[in-house]
């Protein structure tokens, strides 16, 4: 029989140790529990000292972000902790039938995970690529992201904050930033790559590949692996 416990100061370190056994699988939970506990609510299911699964609610976004990672027999009870109102949930595909039964009107899509380990990567280098730094690059980043359809409008301050916390690289053509990629989460075991975007007028020229390669190279200098997830139907992103 399993027991569900809220993760707090009394059991946080033991939960972290259990998550580290498969850091790639639990990368978001591992990061949030360690570095953003003030924005993290987590309930974990245990059976005879073993972790059967958990639900994590990250509250620092416009809508709560929910991670459900567990065996099917505890999914129903863990989902009782899902917040009211709108939220975004991340879960393994095998739990989708249980989630859809609980939330019949849910919209969903499947993501592919990609991972490369240190020593396995081939890099694409160019004089067009460099790391983003300082207010001038922040202005160029703001301008580039303004062409991202459906993305909220960015400010210079937010771009500066993003660049200070999340290493990012850009491709510059005639002095203008045309493509970027960064890492939004860094752990010794893995850096998560994201924020890959190219100006609509500059696509299919290999620029996203150059930016992604640059951030991956730094990631593998500092971590054991680099990983990225992408919608399984997003063929251009998968090709990059």
**Residue 172 clears pLDDT 90, i.e. is over it:** yes
Does residue 221 share a domain with residue 175?
A: yes
**pLDDT surpasses 90 at 59:** yes
pLDDT tens, position by position, 61-108: 889 999 999 999 999 999 999 999 999 999 999 999 999 999 998 899
Q: Where are the alpha helices (DSSP H) in the chain?
A: 12-20, 27-35, 72-78, 96-102, 134-145, 156-165, 207-222, 235-239
Global pTM value: 0.87
In degrees rounded to 5, what are phi and psi of residue 6?
-75, 135
Using the 3D structure, point to which of 75, 108, 141 is the last residue of a domain. 108
Q: Which domain holds residue 15?
A: 3-108
Which residues, in sequence order, are CB contacts of 182 under 8 Å at separation 6+? 132, 162, 166, 167, 168, 169, 193, 194, 195, 215
CA distance 65 to 99: 15
Confidence of residue 173 (pLDDT cuts 50, 70, 90): very high
Q: Which of 81, 108, 135 is the last residue of a domain?
A: 108
Residues 123 and 50 in one domain: no
pLDDT of 237 > 90? The answer is no
Same domain, 129 and 215: yes
Confidence (pLDDT) at 218: 97
The number of CA neighbours under 13 Å toward the Cβ of 175 is 1
Overall number of domains in the chain: 2
In whole numbers, what is the pLDDT of the chain averaged over residues? Answer: 93
% of the chain with per-residue pLDDT over 90: 80
CATH of the domain at 43: 3.40.630.30
Please name every residue paired with 67 in a beta bridge, in sequence order, or none if there are none: 56, 90
Q: How many helices (H) and strands (E) does the chain have?
A: 8, 11
Average confidence (pLDDT) over 232-240: 84
Q: How far is CA 6 from CA 44, 54, 188, in A?
A: 6, 10, 26
């Amino acid at each position: 029989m399993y027991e569900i416990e809220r993760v707090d100061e009394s059991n946080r370190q033991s939960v972290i140790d259990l998550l580290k056994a498969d850091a790639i699988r639990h990368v978001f939970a591992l990061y949030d529990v360690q570095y953003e506990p003030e924005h993290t609510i987590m309930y974990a299911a245990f059976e005879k000292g073993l972790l059967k699964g958990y639900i994590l609610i990250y509250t620092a976004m416009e809508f709560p972000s929910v991670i459900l990672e567990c065996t099917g027999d505890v999914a129903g009870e863990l989902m009782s902790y899902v917040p009211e109102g709108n939220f975004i949930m991340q879960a393994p595909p095998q739990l989708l039938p249980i989630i859809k039964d609980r939330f019949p009107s849910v919209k969903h899509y499947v993501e592919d995970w990609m991972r490369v380990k240190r020593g396995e990567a081939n890099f694409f280098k160019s004089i067009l690529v460099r790391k983003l730094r300082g207010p001038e690059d922040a202005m160029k980043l703001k301008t580039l992201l303004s062409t991202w359809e459906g993305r909220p409008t960015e400010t210079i301050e937010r771009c500066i904050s993003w660049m200070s916390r999340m290493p990012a690289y850009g491709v510059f053509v005639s002095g203008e930033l045309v493509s970027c990629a960064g890492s939004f989460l860094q752990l010794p075991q893995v850096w998560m790559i994201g924020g890959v975007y190219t100006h609509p007028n500059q696509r299919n020229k290999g620029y996203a590949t150059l930016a992604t390669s640059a951030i991956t190279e730094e990631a593998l200098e500092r971590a054991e692996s680099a990983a990225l997830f992408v919608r399984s139907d997003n063929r251009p992103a998968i090709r990059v």
